[in-house]
Amino acid sequence: MTEFEFNPLSPEFRRNPYPFYDMLRENAPIFFWDRWGVWFLSRYEDCNALLRNNRLGHGTFGDPPQGQEALIAMQQNWMLFQNPPDHTRLRGLAHKAFTPRMVEQLRDKIQAITDALLDKVQATGHMDLIADLAYPLPVTVIAEMLGIPVAEQLRFHHLSNDLARTLDLTEDPAIYERGSQAAATVTAYVKTLADQRRADPQDDLLSALVAVEEEGDRLSEAELFATFGLLFVAGHETTINLIGNGMLALLRHPDQLAMLKSNPALIKTAVEELLRYDSPVQLTSRIAQEAIDLDGHTIERGQQVSFMLGAANRDPAQFEAPNTLNIARQPNQHLAFGSGIHYCLGAPLARLEGQIAINTLLRRMPNLKLETDSPELADNYLLRGLKSLPVSF
């Protein structure tokens, strides 16, 4: 396989990576891209096994490039980029808020927010499904959980976008510089908000994190700011894509849409299938902590391994008819939320928000139709989603 055939930075790949995934799995499932010195894995078996392998973890952050200091200062404290024991400690502090039991207590609130958003557009007969529902629903939920005032939520979303872009595959230094500016702004804002919570604790996640930080040995101030920023980014970016990608897939498959409308109890398996079919997170990466032999290839210590979750979720060795949308698919052990110790902390919340949003849409707007055959994609391959999705009803 030549470099010309595989370029994850190309517009064609970013627009529709699935044919490229098929090509990789069939011809070079363990592929070393010379341009970046990165291994790309596209088979389900390899991804699932190595995501659980403690010989792969995260590397240390070197000296940040000029203009990126604030970004590196934040990201090096994200649990996303930590190894045990720091990862275990940081994850444990946030985990309690995202257990299935705690998330289930949010059901009525999520339903009320969904209905209020749809009330605003119900009489108009059309909406942008992203701007009017898929974006504001998870942003409102995670912002309320964290304790971000309503007036600041839109500003925080723009900052979150700039941070999220830095996780993408890119060679554009401007993306990292904007991300660093966003990191500095978020850090300064959270510092002010945390000071307010110290003086006047509230029933929110920030107050809980501040209380732990004050104990002095479990959470540093820098970790507090970074954890808050990560939870906001991760707490809504991927759910926007689950709802948007999921509704697009259903609207493009009228038989599956009709099946779900006639049997709303299928929503749990439907959401799992939508997560598999067009995964909100397409790729995650690790660093080899020691040399690893994999099917005749040697991954050297210090090399990056990128797991193509979107490819693994379309692997015919794991899923029957993987390119077919089947909302009743069982079993469905997809990797949309990753695997191993970094399995998505917010998975229960994302699932519940997706289930409520989609079923409520289909119940309240049964004649939902696409207003365009080619909705605009957001400019982020790794966090695959739509910029807009115009629909009529």
| Residue 217's pLDDT band (cuts 50, 70, 90) | confident
Q: Give the CA count within 13 Å in the CB-facing half-sphere of 11.
A: 1
pLDDT at 2 over 60: no
Q: Is 3 contained in some domain?
A: no
Q: What is the pLDDT of residue 335?
A: 98
| Residue 385 domain boundaries | 11-57+66-392
Q: What is the pLDDT of residue 346?
A: 95
For the chain, how many structural domains are there in total? 1
pLDDT at 1 over 60: no
Q: Is 6 contained in some domain?
A: no
Q: What is the DSSP string of 2-65?
A: -TTT--TTSHHHHH--HHHHHHHHHH-SEEEETTTTEEEE--HHHHHHHHT-TTEE-PPP-SPP
Greater model confidence, 61 or 290 = 290
- Residue-wise pLDDT tens digits, 147-163: 999 888 888 888 999 99
pLDDT at 136 over 80: yes
Q: Is 182 contained in some domain?
A: yes
Q: Is 1 contained in some domain?
A: no
- Residue-wise pLDDT tens digits, 283-331: 999 999 999 999 999 999 999 999 999 999 999 999 999 999 999 999 9
- Residue-wise pLDDT tens digits, 195-215: 999 999 999 999 999 999 988
Mean pLDDT of 16-31: 96
Cβ neighbours of residue 106 closer than 8 Å, sequence gap 6 or more: 141, 145, 349, 352
Nearest to 235 by CA among 206, 207, 214: 206
Q: What is the pLDDT of residue 157?
A: 83
Q: Is 36 contained in some domain?
A: yes
Mean pLDDT of 53-68: 92
3-state SS of 237-261? HHHHHHHHHHHHHHHCCHHHHHHHH
pTM for this model (two decimals): 0.95
pLDDT at 181 over 80: yes
Give the mean pLDDT of the chain. Answer: 95
Q: Is 324 contained in some domain?
A: yes
Mean pLDDT of 23-50: 96
Q: Residue 184 sits in a domain of what CATH number?
A: 1.10.630.10
| Residue 374's pLDDT band (cuts 50, 70, 90) | very high
Q: Is 2 contained in some domain?
A: no
Q: What is the pLDDT of residue 173?
A: 93
